[in-house]
Amino acid sequence: MARPMKVKAADLVLDFTVYPRTVVDEQHAARLAEALRAGVTLPPIIADRASRRVVDGFHRTKAHLRVGGEDAVIAVEWRDYAGDTELFLDAAKLNTGHGLRISRLDEAHCMAIAQRLGVADSELAGVLALTAEKYEKMRAERFATGGNGEPVLLKRSARHLAGGKLSRKQISGNAKSSGWRIDFHIDQIVNALESDLVNYQDATLVPKLRRLHDLLDRALAAR
């Protein structure tokens, strides 16, 4: 194992196109930053020598940036990769094996990246420590197809469309979705209306309620 080198945080690249997670957990980064302030030494970042992209340690990099800014010095273990596919698979393996456990959504996100990079299903399933059966079940339940045949990772509110082909409008709507189930949002609106919590003096809110009313009328009339 190569000896870690000290590198400025500003010299490292956070490339989200090959990041195994959907987002960086800012709360986790904040906890790591607090640990740094308390004198804790965090494990070295793993990064690609040629591109200086972080392979493992996005949260640790964010923590160092919180504490020391772009001049923060981070211990980095350099690795060499033949290309994006090899880099991504190592990132997925490292994020699966330790630290903040990746979620089911993160695993599905990895599946979408893997399909884009042409990674075999069996190879990624092994990296994520998923059985072939679980892998296939996740793909069947969480993906639809775009107009050009590309895989579309569905948010929770759109998973009933799994296995189908999406229109451009549906792809855009899925991307904008919060990810919460539709009935959650409906329950929140119903509660606000029934409990008299709506601010009808809000000039931006009332037009939205009227638009919601019209959309519901049209949608329910067609059923």
- Cα–Cα dist 160/170, whole Å: 12
Contact present, 58 and 21 (Cβ < 8 Å): yes
Q: What does the pLDDT read at residue 1?
A: 57
For 92, the token pair is 């997925």
Structural domain boundaries in the chain = 5-119, 131-180, 183-221
SS3 assignment, position 124? helix
**Fold for domain 5-119?**
3.90.1530
Closest CA to 79 of 44, 58, 43, 49: 49
Q: Whole-prediction pTM value? A: 0.77
Q: Characterize 166-180 residue by residue with b for buried, 16 or more Cβ atoms within 10 angstroms of its Cβ, and e for exposed.
A: beeebbeebeeeeee
∠ CA(105), CA(23), CA(124), 5° rounding? 45
Q: What's the rounded Cα separation, in Å, for the pair 125 and 120?
A: 9
Give the tens place of pLDDT for each residue, 22-75. Answer: 889 999 999 999 999 999 999 999 999 999 999 999 999 999 999 999 899 999
